Structure 1
Amino acid sequence: MIRNATEDDLKFILDIYNDAILNTTTVYTYEQTDLEERKKWFYSKVESGLPVIVYEKDNEIAGFASYGPFRNWAAYQYTIEHSIYVSSKFRRQGIATQLIDHLILLAKVDGYKTMVAGIDSSNEGSIHLHKQKGFKHIGTLEKVGYKFDKWLDLAFYQILLK
């Protein structure tokens, strides 16, 4: 079931996000975050009218997703960048697919024109999912991150919503 996240979900969102920080190149940072930071992130989204959704399965938060401004200048107001995270326990069960479908629907309803995804170029699963959903590869920034003793390339994908 996909629903809007609540403050009660933030501990689970934090666990999923910190796992991504520590064990993947999904997030280009090194240090785990804390519940206070996730609360600030959550309420910033809520106050801005931006979605934070969760996928609940077997009474557990299996994944979460959101979108926000691509850039903060006025001319970018119709372009958003999204994020999707799935718990390692629930990967490869179609959860990311359902979360991205829901985000695309919300973005269309909210009147956005373009959705962007920044994906580590080694994340073949995410790239495959985005291509399946109609995202097109727009370009890759080479060696813009460094994690796990290797240089990381950031691939950008885009879908036109209207």
Structure 2
Amino acid sequence: MRIETATLEHVAEITTIYNDAVLTTTAVWIDSPVGIADRRAWFEDRQRLAFPVLVALDEHDAVVGYATFGPWRPHEGYRHTVEHSVYVRGDQRGRGVGRMLMVALIDLARGAGIHAMIGAITSDNVASLRLHESLGFEHGGTLRQVGAKFGQWLDLALLQLILDEAPAPLR
């Protein structure tokens, strides 16, 4: 398996992975699948804003997972913080794909001078919480019953990783 920068050719497979998460998990708090045009616009927006989209490719060059980061909040005071997302194809979960993507994404964030990375994770997603904690993320708090899906209230756990030792922002 290898990690590469995503291209437009990967958007269809990214869409399939995303829609599987929409339909079968509480990782994405929307109820309806999206079309390829939606994911293409999302991808082009990431490129325009210079945010990475990484893909994990198997030995047949099939996308088995993807990861990205983007702004945490829109206000300039948050410019040193990003929120990330990582999705793994259903038949590949638990095989280290998410870890490989996260390690590469964290390295990119550090290289870009990002100070903090946030993960907003459904609080019952134990596998994702454990992965993040094993990578050094710390629990920043839980927002109770802020989402709903599959007829249940969802709690949102916020995890954060400080990426550098800067005592103060440079700008």
Provide the C-alpha distance between the structure 1 equivalents of 2:124 and 2:148, rounded to a whole number of angstroms.
13
- Kindly report which structure 2 residues correspond to 1:40-79, keeping only aligned pairs within 5 A, or say none: 40-59=41-60, 60-79=62-81
Counterpart of 2:39 in structure 1 is 38
2:117 is matched with 115
Question: Deviation of residue 30 (structure 1)?
Answer: 0.3
- SS at 1:154's partner residue? strand
Moved over 6 A (4+): none
CA distance in 1, matches of 2:24, 2:152: 14
Partner of 1:131: 133
1:102 is matched by which residue type in structure 2?
A: A
* Corresponding residue number in structure 2 for 1:144: 146
Q: Distance in 1 between matches of 2:130 and 2:51?
A: 26
Shift of the alpha carbon at 1:149?
Answer: 1.1
CA distance in 1, matches of 2:101, 2:76: 27
Residue aligned with 2:33, SS: coil
What's the TM-score once normalised by structure 2's chain length? 0.94
The 3-state SS of whatever aligns with 2:101 is helix
Q: Which residue of 2 aligns with 1:160?
A: 162
What does residue 4 of structure 1 align with? 5
Aligned length: 162
> Per-residue CA shift, 1:55-106, capped at 9, x if unaligned?
0012210000000000011010000000000000111110000100000000
Percent of matched pairs sharing the same residue? 39
- In structure 1, the gaps of 5 or more residues are none
Give a deviation string over 1:136-155, Cα, whole Å, max 9, x none.
Answer: 00000100111111110000
After superposition, the CA RMSD in angstroms is 0.5
Give the structure-1-normalised TM-score: 0.99
Superimposed CA distance per residue, residues 22-80 of structure 1 (whole angstroms, 9 cap, x where no aligned partner): 00000001010001010110000001110000000122100000000000110100000
User: 2-side partners of 1:75 and 1:146: how far apart?
Assistant: 30
Match of 2:159, SS state, is strand
Code of the residue aligned with 1:15 in structure 2: it is T
Amino acid in the other structure paired with 2:135? K
SS in 1 for 2:148: strand
Mapped partners of 1:89, 1:136: distance in 2: 28
SS of equivalent residue, structure 1 residue 25: coil
